[in-house]
Amino acid sequence: MSTPPPLDRWALSRALTRMANASTAELARSAPCVGPARAAHRIGVTGAPGAGKSTLVGHLALERLANGRLGVLAVDPSSPKSGGAILGDRVRMDDLAGSTELYIRSLGSRRTSDGLADNLPEMLDIMDTFGFDEVVLETVGVGQAEYAVRAQVDTLVLVLLPESGDTVQAMKAGIMEMADIFVVNKSDLPGAQRMATDIQRIAAVTQRAAGAWRAPILLTSSSQPDSIRALSETIDLHRTWRNADPQRRQHLRAQRARYRLRRLLEMHVAEAITAQSDEFFDIPREQQLATVMGAMRMAFDP
């Protein structure tokens, strides 16, 4: 595999900003028909608010910089009222500054409600074209049902806190089933081992296909470098397992294509409905649907 040219950070920043602000019509035109020739390994880090995801991502990024060019995309929640976001993840990752092969970008979630950001699949494609070897994606703090990140990453790390038993109970029918690696963070706090035991008990009753990956449960702490190293090594083990079967990669590509198409359709529908006048909602439902479908056809084929 050829070595990518030096990272043009200015060009990358402009490309990501342009894609973040792209219209749905531009997104439809940008959707690739095939996977990129050089695709970054994507590591997702998700979990409930306050679990210490940003600090953990910072330490993990330092550990994995030796693997090549590394990007960090950190999603912060946007206000549903103003649309703005306090992009604090970049501030909490100041220790990572200085590496020429590291790029950190904070993203507002904007219109999404699934833990990700607007136009994120297309922005991840851009990271591939700029020659990144790995991309770490940190989601907004999530709960039970926000597991859209599963299709966007190759390895999904679920971060939990000691003494968060109620949170685990709420998640167990949703994102708990999606994680590749469980992490009990801030393991120097009381209750960490008990939390790991609770997760193990839940994982033990989860049905798995033959040969499926069995998600390990790790304890991490920012004050314990060996725990971060163990997490990094486990990510490598999962990557090796995933790459051993081409069908797994093909299935993941199909999942990403479905998410991209579904998101495009949702955005087109939302725009078509928003564009209608108040009187539109007084007409029969069938006519409303016909009007929206007509607006969508015009958007895809102007």
pTM score, two decimals? 0.85
pLDDT at residue number 235: 98
CA–CA separation, 160 vs 172, rounded Å? 12
pLDDT at 169: 60
Residue written as token pair 């950070």: 9
pLDDT of the residue at 126: 93
Give the pair of three-digit tokens for residue 245. 């079967």
Give the pLDDT score at 84: 45
CA neighbor of 286 nearest in space, from 297, 277, 278, 294? 294
- Closest CA relative to residue 158, chosen from 121, 193, 199: 199
> 181 pairs with which residues across the strands?
157
β-bridge partners, 137: 44, 73
Question: What confidence score (pLDDT) does residue 273 get?
Answer: 85
What is the three-class DSSP state of 137? strand
* Chain length of the chain: 302
- Taking the C-alpha atoms of residue 26 and residue 270, their distance in angstroms, rounded to an integer, is 16
Residue 42 has a pLDDT of 96
Domains, the chain, ordered by start: 9-244 (3.40.50.300), 258-300 (no CATH)
The pLDDT assigned to 176 comes to 77
Running along the chain, 302 residues long, what does each successive block of 10 average in pLDDT?
A: 78 93 79 64 90 91 92 77 48 61 85 72 92 93 70 93 66 73 92 86 72 91 94 97 89 87 82 83 87 75 59
Contact criterion met (CB below 8 Å) for 175 and 146: yes
pLDDT at 85: 43
Contact predicate 128/37, CB 8 Å:
no
What is the rounded distance in angstroms from the CA atom of residue 45 to the CA atom of residue 64?
14
